[in-house]
Amino acid sequence: MKTYEAQAGGRVIVIRLNKGDLLLESVKEAIAQHEITDGALVCGYGTLDNCTLHMINTNDVFPAQEDFIHWDNYPLELVSMTGIIADGIPHIHAVISDKGKATGGHLENGCTVVYLAEIVIYEHANMKLTRKPTDWGPLALENKE
């Protein structure tokens, strides 16, 4: 286990998305516009009509095998969206629900807002993180040196 600490400080960015806006692409655009290098996507919620998530389906090989789940023109609730921004790159997970079940996974490009979505990003102004490959292969958070 590794932990990272910094004195509190930074901005809070609230993103409001409208019908037809792209979810992940808009988050990436906001990160670039506000020049956020390190932070946390602390919450996100809304409604979608198109969405793709991916999740692992193996636990003993790298790279992991993945399943991509896609909804096309289907009413969905974006129940939760969280993640970490390291070195300007977001790693975001989301939970999507329909009338029957909830599904979580890694958020992919191409998810579109049907009514609205609201996202909150907290900038870590005093922390510099990056992701580096581990001995086994997956990327892991490290202090940026």
Q: What is the pLDDT along the chain (145 residues), one digit of tens a residue?
A: 888 888 888 999 999 999 999 999 999 999 999 999 999 999 999 999 999 999 988 888 777 788 899 999 999 999 999 999 999 999 999 999 998 999 999 999 999 999 999 999 999 988 999 999 888 777 888 888 7
Strands 12-18 and 139-143: unpaired
**pTM of the entire predicted model:** 0.91
Count of CB atoms situated within 10 Å of the CB of 31: 21
Q: 12-143: which CATH topology?
A: 60s Ribosomal Protein L30; Chain: A; (3.30.1330)
